[in-house]
């Protein structure tokens, strides 16, 4: 159910742009293909849940009569979702049987678990039994951390939800279909690439399919806290000593006037707020004392929320991030973001990141690199990454996968993008480490795309006015040694991300020394640059694919970057070599993009050592 706030409803009287129009069409949007935002339970990892991780039975969707889709693309009502059994006397003899089918681990992509499914980009059926003993006056949701790319969910043969988007979580209410004792869930996950998908059909990473993150059952009171925002109040200017905390707590289906308690004992902050007609309880409270979150002091506070029978605690850091002219200010202090791009691939074992160990390994690389920043490319990662960033004091650029060619001309694609943006922001808005929301990467500079992404950037600001909005742009065409960045999308951004590969895809490494970048007067992050090198391949600096050449490209890049007055951050592409079906030079790539500072086996290249030293000395860029 999409709730229009009073402000949005007012906007509907005079729709001024596609965003407002779609917002007003909200309740009708499902017809346009937008998924109504599932009841997305914020703070799931801080609730007591029943894990459904483990062995699930699976079947490949290759039985026409029982396939997920009928010939006309509708959902088949005689599909494997019914979880029928063979050899039942008196019944049609079904020719499948989940109970004795092979099993696969959840969470986990199917590609790295089942050799025959390595390149499979179709539909896989998952099934498992589970016990439940629902209590009266409670509600139960099936929580799915991510399923790439589209999924349809049935419990006890009843369809409970569908979802599109391979990197954001969703929750399906199952209260009315559960019964005491044994139940079963069937999930069809479709990894087919879609022209109207987000991302679309061509992208430079591996299309890992399946239930790639945790799956669990969550039981909450009939009236419960499903969403909240607790942050340091943003004043016109940063005020040292400001200890005002503000935000809202949303209590789903609560009558107006329901009490909500917000209690942060260590900060000496406690208040009671009342819900309005939409279930939102807005609050402001002064903390007695507050240590602000920063990379140097990644302080987190236990935030206890309570309403009726529902109790929920979260670990939240308080800080302020803002743009001031061409500077980025964290808690009023100008900062320089020395970081790296990170894809969600597990070191050594490969496949999608989805365990504490995967995340611990990636953060060990980031800390060893002396990074204070990471661009989580090109999609929202497992929530463990932002939690680790909160604890480790690493600032995060979080992005939805509008990667290059998206069907920007289609309203239903915009509607899907809005849903994905809302899912990303809703899950992570309370993570102090997340300082930037990004709405795209390297999209073609044309009026339709610029309008689409400008509206999306404004939608992000409405959803979260506390964080700057960014995107990574590509181009411009060189004008001799000048690069004048005049992409109109930059007008909609607070921080400009720029990708370029001088010395690898164009020109020579030495040419970079002479390149002058002219940017609008905003903070700039050079969000991608680099070169490929196979770990252990050594040679002269002018020999491509050697580690020495990769370092040489970076050396000349940094000469160029240091000449950009408003450069406020860099993220070389990419922390670790990663799988991509577009990278097929035998013996050099073998299905991997090799721009990593680290190999997929965790071997640190010379380029890793190079940046480790640069970042330790803080010898790149200026905070102001």
Residues that bind ligand GCU (CB under 6 A): 204, 378, 441-442, 499, 528, 573, 593, 595
Query: Residues 536, 603: contact at Cβ < 8 Å?
Result: yes
> Measured from the CB of residue 142, what is the shortest distance to ligand GCU in angstroms?
32
Nearer to ligand GCU, 228 or 573 (CB): 573
> Measured from the CB of residue 499, what is the shortest distance to ligand GCU in angstroms?
4
CA–CA gap between residue 351 and residue 109 (Å, rounded): 6
Question: How many helices (H) and strands (E) would you count in the chain?
Answer: 8, 32
CA–CA gap between residue 601 and residue 25 (Å, rounded): 49
Q: Helix, strand, or coil here: 351?
A: coil
Q: Helix, strand, or coil here: 157?
A: coil
Phi/psi of residue 571, nearest 5 degrees: -135, 90
Query: Within 393-446, where are the H helices?
Result: 411-428
Q: Which residues contact 206 (CB under 8 A, 6 or more apart)?
A: 111, 345, 578, 579, 580, 581
Nearer to ligand GCU, 378 or 605 (CB): 378
Nearer to ligand GCU, 373 or 573 (CB): 573
Q: How many CA atoms lie within 13 A of 166 on its CB side?
A: 28
Beta strand ranges found along 519-581 (DSSP E): 524-528, 567-570, 578-579
**In this structure, is the dihedral angle defined by the CA atoms of residues 480, 481, 482 and 487, taken in order, positive or negative?**
positive
User: And the tokens for 62?
Assistant: 């290759």
Q: Helix, strand, or coil here: 552?
A: helix
Q: Which DSSP symbol is given to 46?
A: G
Question: b/e map of 121-140 (b: 16 or more CB within 10 Å)?
Answer: eebbbbbbebebebeeeebb
Question: Residue 360's closest CA among 382, 336, 338, 341?
Answer: 382
CA–CA gap between residue 245 and residue 283 (Å, rounded): 8
**In this structure, is the dihedral angle defined by the CA atoms of residues 234, 236, 240 and 244, taken in order, positive or negative?**
negative
> Measured from the CB of residue 543, what is the shortest distance to ligand GCU in angstroms?
19
Nearer to ligand GCU, 63 or 474 (CB): 474
Cis ω before 476 (30° cut-off from 0): yes
> Measured from the CB of residue 506, what is the shortest distance to ligand GCU in angstroms?
12
Task: For residue 623, give Cα distances in angstroms to 318, 369, 468.
Answer: 21, 19, 16
Question: Residue 531's closest CA among 597, 478, 582, 585?
Answer: 597
- Residue 375 pairs in a beta bridge with 341, 397
> Measured from the CB of residue 559, what is the shortest distance to ligand GCU in angstroms?
21
Nearer to ligand GCU, 126 or 205 (CB): 205
Tell me the residue number closest to ligand GCU, measured at CB: 204
> Measured from the CB of residue 245, what is the shortest distance to ligand GCU in angstroms?
37
Determine the straight-line distance between the first and last CA of the chain, rounded to whole angstroms: 46
- Residue 162 pairs in a beta bridge with 152
> Measured from the CB of residue 441, what is the shortest distance to ligand GCU in angstroms?
5
> Measured from the CB of residue 377, what is the shortest distance to ligand GCU in angstroms?
6
Phi/psi of residue 74, nearest 5 degrees: -80, 165
Nearer to ligand GCU, 387 or 595 (CB): 595
> Measured from the CB of residue 596, what is the shortest distance to ligand GCU in angstroms?
10
User: And the tokens for 152?
Assistant: 């349809």
> Measured from the CB of residue 351, what is the shortest distance to ligand GCU in angstroms?
18
> Measured from the CB of residue 378, what is the shortest distance to ligand GCU in angstroms?
6
> Measured from the CB of residue 398, what is the shortest distance to ligand GCU in angstroms?
15
Task: For residue 475, give Cα distances in angstroms to 487, 499, 517.
Answer: 8, 8, 11
User: And the tokens for 427?
Assistant: 């899950």
> Measured from the CB of residue 488, what is the shortest distance to ligand GCU in angstroms?
20
CA–CA gap between residue 418 and residue 586 (Å, rounded): 40
Nearer to ligand GCU, 199 or 621 (CB): 199
> Measured from the CB of residue 82, what is the shortest distance to ligand GCU in angstroms?
40
Q: Helix, strand, or coil here: 419?
A: helix
Nearer to ligand GCU, 275 or 546 (CB): 546
Nearer to ligand GCU, 18 or 353 (CB): 353
Q: Which residues contact 364 (CB under 8 A, 6 or more apart)?
A: none
């Amino acid at each position: 159910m999409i709730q229009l706030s009073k402000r949005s409803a007012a906007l509907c009287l005079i729709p001024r742009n596609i965003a407002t129009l779609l917002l007003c069409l909200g309740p009708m949007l499902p017809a346009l293909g937008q998924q109504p935002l599932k009841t997305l339970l914020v703070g799931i990892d801080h609730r007591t849940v029943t894990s459904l991780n483990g062995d699930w039975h699976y079947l490949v969707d290759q039985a026409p009569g029982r396939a997920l889709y009928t010939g006309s693309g509708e959902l088949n009502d005689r599909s494997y979702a019914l979880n029928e059994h063979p050899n039942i006397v008196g019944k049609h003899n079904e020719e499948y049987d989940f109970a004795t089918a092979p099993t696969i681990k959840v969470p986990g992509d199917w590609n790295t678990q089942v050799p025959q499914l390595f390149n499979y980009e179709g539909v896989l059926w998952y099934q498992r039994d589970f016990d439940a003993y629902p209590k009266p006056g409670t509600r139960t949701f099936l929580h799915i951390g991510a399923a790439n790319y589209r999924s349809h969910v049935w419990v006890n043969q009843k369809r409970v939800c569908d979802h599109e988007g391979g990197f954001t979580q969703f929750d399906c209410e199952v209260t009315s279909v559960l019964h005491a004792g044994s139940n079963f869930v069937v999930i069809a996950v479709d990894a087919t690439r879609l022209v109207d998908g987000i991302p679309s059909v061509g992208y430079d990473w591996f299309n890992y399919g399946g239930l790639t993150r945790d799956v669990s059952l969550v039981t909450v009171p009939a009236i419960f806290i499903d969403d909240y925002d607790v942050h340091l109040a943003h004043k016109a200017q940063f005020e040292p000593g400001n200890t005002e905390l503000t935000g809202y707590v949303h209590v789903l289906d609560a009558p107006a006037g329901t009490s909500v308690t917000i209690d942060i004992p260590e900060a000496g902050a406690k208040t009671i707020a009342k819900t309005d007609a939409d279930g939102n309880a807005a609050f402001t409270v002064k903390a007695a004392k507050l240590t602000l979150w920063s990379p140097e002091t990644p302080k987190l506070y236990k935030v206890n929320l309570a309403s009726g029978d529902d109790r929920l605690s979260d670990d939240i850091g308080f800080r302020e991030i803002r743009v001031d002219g061409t500077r980025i200010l964290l808690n009023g202090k100008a900062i320089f973001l020395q970081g790296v791009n990170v894809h969600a691939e597990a070191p050594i074992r490969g496949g999608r990141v989805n365990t504490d160990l995967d995340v611990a390994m990636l953060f060990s690389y980031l800390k060893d690199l002396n990074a204070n920043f990471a661009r989580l490319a090109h999609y929202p990662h497992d929530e463990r990454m932002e939690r680790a960033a909160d604890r480790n004091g690493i600032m995060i650029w979080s992005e939805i996968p509008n990667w290059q060619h998206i069907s920007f001309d289609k309203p239903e694609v915009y509607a899907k993008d809005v849903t994905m943006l809302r899912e990303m922001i809703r899950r992570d808005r309370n993570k102090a480490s997340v300082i930037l929301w990004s709405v795209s990467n390297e999209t073609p500079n044309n009026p339709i795309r610029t309008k689409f992404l400008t509206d999306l950037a404004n939608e992000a600001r409405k959803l979260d006015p506390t964080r700057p909005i960014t995107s990574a742009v590509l181009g411009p065409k060189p004008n001799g040694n000048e690069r004048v960045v005049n992409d109109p999308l930059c007008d909609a951004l607070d921080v400009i991300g720029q990708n370029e590969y001088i010395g690898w895809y164009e020109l020579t490494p030495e040419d970079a020394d002479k390149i002058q970048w002219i940017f609008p007067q905003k903070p700039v992050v050079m969000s991608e640059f680099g070169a490929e090198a196979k770990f252990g391949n050594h040679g002269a600096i002018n020999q491509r694919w050697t580690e020495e050449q990769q370092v040489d490209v970076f050396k000349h890049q940094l000469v160029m970057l240091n000449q950009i007055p408003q450069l406020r951050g860099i993220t070389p592409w990419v922390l670790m070599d990663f799988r991509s079906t577009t990278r097929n030079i035998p013996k050099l790539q073998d299905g991997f993009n090799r721009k990593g500072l680290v190999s997929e086996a965790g071997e640190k290249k010379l380029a890793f050592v190079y940046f480790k030293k640069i970042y330790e000395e803080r010898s790149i860029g200026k905070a102001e």
